[in-house]
A and B are shown apart, each in its own frame.
Chain A
Amino acid sequence: MYSINRNVVYREVDDRIVLINLDSGYYYSLNEVGRLIFRCIVDKKDIDNIIDKILNEYEITREKARNDIDSFLSELTKENILKEE
């Protein structure tokens, strides 16, 4: 399970999420897919739930979805936006 670092603030704008990491001062914009995954993290969904959500929206294989989600989450973890619990 992942959760959002408490020093991250974010707002949804259009179909994106704009977020700021107050620890680093860096800010980011997540695209539509990123927003879908990020919302799942906010709702405390586990990886399998996130994969199901993605498969409902996009025509890709489960394996490809898992790989893409894993790499996205590890990128956000590296940026201290998420932490793994």
Chain B
Amino acid sequence: MLLRDYFRVNNFLFEIKTDDKKAIDAIRSWLDEDIIKLHILKNNPVEQIINIRILSNFSLDDIPSTPEVSPEATFENISFYPGDGITIIKIDDTIIRIDYQSSSAYCYVSPEHIDSPWVISHRIFFLPALELLRESESFYLHAGCVFNGDSGILICGGSGQGKSTLTYALARSGFSYMSDDAVFLRANGRRTGMFSFPEKLKLDSSSCSFFSEFKDLKGIRGKKELSIGETKIEDVVIDGEPEFIIFPEISDNGSSDVYPIPDAEAMLLLIRQSVSLVGNERIGEHLDILKTLCEESQSYRLIVGNNFDDVARLIEGISSKSPA
């Protein structure tokens, strides 16, 4: 018997079917229920149902065979085999078949992965979700985001560059919070719109040490997933328009600074955090949306020092000015 679960993200309804409750538990514990509620309350019309089936009991005959060719792309232990209207993703012994036409993914999960909540949520659920959202013209950006009033401020950088720490520091100092790690960009008329993906905030031990409310978490291994209710975030935004893009960099000398960077430099940095090179059909649209984003936003390099009040003042200063 298959268990079902549903949740809304912007104009999309995710339908998860699984034969193992552990899969639903893993995904639910990764998501922030309060942010999901905001997506439900927004009541955007459902434009697409995205079906993700996660199966742990299956016969070997059910599994689609991996093409007898080299993968088009590999990332860590993940191999991608794009085909005509489908993509096969192989993660160790787990096979995921994505069918773009029907907006669905079948995930045949190996026994070692079904017991790993992190692999279930971040790989077996999120990878096909990214692919299927892209097919619906919603393009992933690996970025945090806060708002100063109506002005969206994207905080873009690779893992370990301080996105989550900075996003949370700004959110607890009065900026509205959208996400610490993943937003989706969409053409919204002539502007770029964006919406949050309702993941929990994730802070590691060194990030926690900056904030008095998390001093008990200092020394934890890995990252602690925190729902909004466990933090000092007072206001959450789930969609809006970006006006500023910040690329954080940790300061050498402890002091903070911010300076503008040209659009082309910003675009290269965004590509690094955004473009998937698998399934190239939509890459032109993906580049178009990044180009529009760079042209209509102001981009800055932010040198992040020790004092987050100073950093918040710098961001407040640039985001209070109207973009040119």
Q: At the interface, yes or no: B262 with Cβ under 8 Å from chain A?
A: yes
Contact indicator B284/A25 (Cβ below 8 Å): no
A16 and chain B: residue at smallest CB distance = B264
A18 to chain B, nearest CB (A): 5
| Cβ-defined partner of B283 (8 Å) among A16, A18, A22 | A22
Distance A74 CA – B119 CA, assembled complex (angstroms): 44
Tally of contact residues, B, Cβ under 8 A: 19
| Binary per-residue interface labels of chain B (251-290) against chain A in the complex, 1 for a CB within 8 Å, 0 otherwise | 0000000000011110110011001010010011001100
Known: A9-B283, A9-B284, A13-B291. A29 touches B275 (CB 8 A): no
Chain A residues whose CB sits within 8 angstroms of the CB of B3 once the complex forms: none
Within 8 A of A (CB), among B278-314: 280, 283-284, 287-288, 291, 294-295
Contact indicator B283/A29 (Cβ below 8 Å): no
Contact indicator B277/A13 (Cβ below 8 Å): no
Contact indicator B283/A11 (Cβ below 8 Å): no
B283 and chain A: residue at smallest CB distance = A9
B262 and chain A: residue at smallest CB distance = A14
| Cβ-defined partner of B287 (8 Å) among A7, A11, A14, A25 | A11
Distance A22 CA – B98 CA, assembled complex (angstroms): 21
Chain A residues whose CB sits within 8 angstroms of the CB of B280 once the complex forms: 7, 22
Contact indicator A27/B291 (Cβ below 8 Å): no
Chain A residues whose CB sits within 8 angstroms of the CB of B294 once the complex forms: 13
Chain B residues whose CB sits within 8 angstroms of the CB of A27 once the complex forms: 268, 271-272
Contact indicator B264/A20 (Cβ below 8 Å): no
Chain B residues whose CB sits within 8 angstroms of the CB of A7 once the complex forms: 280
Contact indicator B291/A20 (Cβ below 8 Å): no
Chain A residues whose CB sits within 8 angstroms of the CB of B265 once the complex forms: 29
Contact-residue size bin, chain A (C-beta under 8 Å from the other chain): 10 to 19
Contact indicator B287/A20 (Cβ below 8 Å): yes
| Cβ-defined partner of A22 (8 Å) among B272, B277, B288, B295 | B277
Contact indicator B73/A9 (Cβ below 8 Å): no
Contact indicator B267/A20 (Cβ below 8 Å): no
Known: A9-B287, A13-B294. A18 touches B264 (CB 8 A): yes
Distance A11 CA – B288 CA, assembled complex (angstroms): 8
Residue with the highest number of chain B CB atoms closer than 10 Å, among A7, A18, A27: A18
Contact indicator A18/B268 (Cβ below 8 Å): yes
Known: A18-B264, A20-B283, A20-B287. A13 touches B271 (CB 8 A): no
Chain A residues whose CB sits within 8 angstroms of the CB of B295 once the complex forms: 13
Known: A18-B271, A20-B275. A29 touches B287 (CB 8 A): no
Residue with the highest number of chain A CB atoms closer than 10 Å, among B262, B264, B267, B277: B264
Distance A14 CA – B272 CA, assembled complex (angstroms): 19
Distance A16 CA – B294 CA, assembled complex (angstroms): 13
